[in-house]
């Protein structure tokens, strides 16, 4: 920048102001500076800028499983949205482990990230105290609140209700669920949600019709095998997400159960493979791209100075395919 200033016959402050536009610069001065910049193919040193201003251009995206297409899509859209505003996305995969979630959060503080967008899995609300105290804007994408931070959360009421209605219309009454692990934060709100709505519709989701496991195909397979070995088998099976659901579906094929003949299967998220499996998976779609846009919006508002925290609800949608 000193070189540019010398070449243009101005001070380095002027070069800085030409770049940032934070104060008016005479047209001919600006022209001279821009020419010098082009001539020397100068680019600002972002590190020096960060050091001086105290804010970096890095945003951490912390998710349980980047290989899950839902999160991959989230990352892709987020990256696109934030790049327009000069921000970069650092992807952090926690593999749903609490220690990694904690480490990553701590590292975001240490690295002075500009912001964090996170889907917590086993974190507790109090784990967020250090990062909030550090003044780093945090957007949580989750079913429940984790404290005084921006939140993007699904509105799945209508979609879940429609799913249950369709199940009921098919004369299915024995509802079951393969939920997330018991020690996940909130103990899987999707389960509580489903149970409450089922009750409203005069159906029940008894505790012995719920099995739990990680958000993996293996857990889905194991859960399916367990539920179908019960004396009273379910005839409609909800899953915590689509990864679990396809695990269950694979197990169904293996054990010779027909879907939806023997049991209907309903997933969550509409991950890209949901429409590829056979039968096509009926699911409660949570639009990753929209979630990403909402999160990007909330984050930039915060960076622009908004003080109070906000919650954005993103509508989930029932996608009827062949598995019900």
Give contact residues for a copy of itself (rule: CB under 8 A). Answer: 43-48, 50-51, 56-58, 65-67, 69, 72-73, 75-76, 79-80, 88-93, 109-112, 246, 250, 272-273, 276-278
Determine the Cα–Cα distance for residues 105 and 129; give it in Å rounded to an integer.
10
Minimum CB distance to DNA, residue 175 (Å): 55
Binding-site string for DNA from residue 40 to residue 79, where x marks contact by CB under 7 A and - marks none: ----xx--xx-xxxx-------------------------
91 makes contact, choosing from a copy of itself, DNA, none, with CB < 5 to 8 Å by partner type, with a copy of itself
Determine the Cα–Cα distance for residues 78 and 297; give it in Å rounded to an integer.
10
Report which DSSP code applies to 175. Answer: E
Smaller CB distance to a copy of itself: residue 175 or 299? 299
294 makes contact, choosing from a copy of itself, DNA, none, with CB < 5 to 8 Å by partner type, with none
Determine the Cα–Cα distance for residues 64 and 71; give it in Å rounded to an integer.
8
What separation in angstroms does the CA of 322 have from each of 156, 245, 266, 267, 276? 20, 13, 10, 12, 11
Among candidates 99, 98, 74, 112, which has minimal Cα distance to 295? 74
Q: At 322, which helix (H) or strand (E)?
A: none
Is 196 a binding residue for DNA by CB under 7 A? The answer is: no
93 makes contact, choosing from DNA, a copy of itself, none, with CB < 5 to 8 Å by partner type, with a copy of itself
Across the beta sheet with 210-212, what order do the strands follow?
Answer: 210-212, 175-179, 236-239, 264-269, 282-285, 317-319
Among candidates 96, 92, 122, 123, which has minimal Cα distance to 107? 92
Determine the Cα–Cα distance for residues 291 and 141; give it in Å rounded to an integer.
8
Minimum CB distance to a copy of itself, residue 112 (Å): 6
Is 10 a binding residue for DNA by CB under 7 A? The answer is: yes
9 makes contact, choosing from DNA, a copy of itself, none, with CB < 5 to 8 Å by partner type, with DNA
Is 38 a binding residue for DNA by CB under 7 A? The answer is: no
Q: What are phi and psi of 163, to 5 degrees?
A: -60, -45
Q: Choose the binding region for DNA from 3-11, 95-103, 181-189, 265-273 (rule: CB under 7 A).
A: 3-11
2 makes contact, choosing from a copy of itself, DNA, none, with CB < 5 to 8 Å by partner type, with DNA
Smaller CB distance to DNA: residue 87 or 209? 87
The tokens for 145 are 């609140």
Report which DSSP code applies to 146. Answer: -
Determine the Cα–Cα distance for residues 106 and 237; give it in Å rounded to an integer.
38
67 makes contact, choosing from DNA, a copy of itself, none, with CB < 5 to 8 Å by partner type, with a copy of itself
Minimum CB distance to a copy of itself, residue 189 (Å): 26
Is 24 a binding residue for DNA by CB under 7 A? The answer is: yes
Q: Which of 23, 232, 306, 313 binds DNA (CB under 7 A)?
A: 23
Interaction site with DNA (CB under 7 A) = 1-2, 9-14, 16-17, 19-20, 22-26, 28-30, 44-45, 48-49, 51-54
């Amino acid at each position: 920048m000193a070189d540019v200033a010398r070449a243009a016959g101005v001070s380095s402050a002027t070069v800085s102001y030409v770049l940032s536009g934070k104060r008016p610069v005479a047209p001919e001065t600006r022209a001279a500076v821009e020419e010098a910049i082009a001539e020397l193919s100068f680019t600002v040193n972002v590190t020096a800028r960060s050091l001086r201003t105290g804010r970096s251009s890095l945003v951490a995206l912390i998710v349980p499983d980047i290989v899950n297409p839902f999160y991959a899509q989230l990352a892709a859209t987020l990256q696109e949205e934030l790049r327009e505003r000069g921000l970069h996305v650092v992807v952090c995969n926690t593999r749903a482990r609490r220690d990694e979630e904690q480490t990553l959060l701590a590292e975001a503080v240490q690295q002075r990230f500009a912001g964090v967008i996170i889907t917590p899995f086993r974190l507790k609300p109090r784990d967020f105290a250090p990062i909030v105290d550090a003044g780093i804007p945090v957007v949580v994408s989750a079913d429940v609140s984790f404290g005084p931070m921006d939140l993007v959360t699904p509105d799945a009421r209508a979609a879940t209700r429609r799913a249950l209605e369709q199940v009921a219309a098919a004369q299915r009454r024995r509802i079951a669920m393969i939920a997330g692990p018991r020690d996940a934060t909130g103990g899987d709100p999707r389960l509580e949600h489903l149970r409450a709505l089922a009750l409203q519709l005069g159906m029940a989701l008894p505790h012995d019709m719920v099995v739990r496991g990680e958000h993996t195909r293996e857990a889905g397979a194991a859960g399916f095998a367990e539920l179908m070995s019960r004396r009273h088998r379910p005839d409609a099976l909800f899953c915590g997400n689509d990864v679990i659901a396809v695990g269950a579906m694979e197990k169904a094929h293996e054990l010779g159960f027909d879907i939806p003949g023997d049991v209907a299967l309903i997933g969550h998220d509409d991950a890209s493979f949901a429409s590829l499996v056979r039968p096509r998976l009926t699911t409660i779609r949570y639009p990753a791209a929209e979630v990403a846009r909402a999160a990007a919006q909330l984050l930039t508002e915060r960076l622009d100075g908004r003080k109070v925290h906000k919650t954005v609800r993103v509508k989930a949608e029932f996608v009827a395919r062949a598995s019900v």
